Amino acid sequence: MSEDGGTPKSGCHETDVRRRRTISMSWRTGSKMFAEMWPLIQANIPEREHRIDFTGRLLELFVHDDMDPFDVEDIHPEVRAAMRRVDIEISEPDRYQDDDAA
């Protein structure tokens, strides 16, 4: 803040934002949170392609914050479709060969 206490100093907010970006959640927390969110995503985004796009962007954020995608890849075929769409590696692709039928 400036000396008058009213306006932020130049760059102050930017530094705070950068600092917050370096703090990550634990991979367990991220996996648990995503698993709890998935039913809500399914219920509230009715269009499959939109749901996959949204889920992919969300997974990118979670993986960036240190979530291990292995922990969520078995939740649903659409989660794996979202992972593929954003180039997140599926650890056991042979296990999910029937995804295209889903």
Question: pLDDT band at 29, cuts 50/70/90?
Answer: confident
- Per-residue burial over 26-43, b if 16 or more Cβ lie within 10 Å, else e, is ebeebbeebeeebeebee
Q: Containing domain of residue 40, as a range?
A: 25-101
Share of the chain above pLDDT 90, in %: 54
Q: How many domains would you assign to the chain?
A: 1
Instruction: Please report the sign of the dihedral spanned by the C-alpha atoms of residue 78, residue 84, residue 86, residue 92.
Output: positive
Is 48 inside any structural domain?
A: yes
Inform me whether the pLDDT recorded for 88 exceeds 80. Answer: yes
Residue pointed to by tokens 């997974």: 59
Q: How far apart, in whole angstroms, are the C-alpha atoms of residue 45 and residue 48? A: 8
Is 74 inside any structural domain?
A: yes
Is 60 inside any structural domain?
A: yes
Is 17 inside any structural domain?
A: no
Is 53 inside any structural domain?
A: yes
Is 56 inside any structural domain?
A: yes
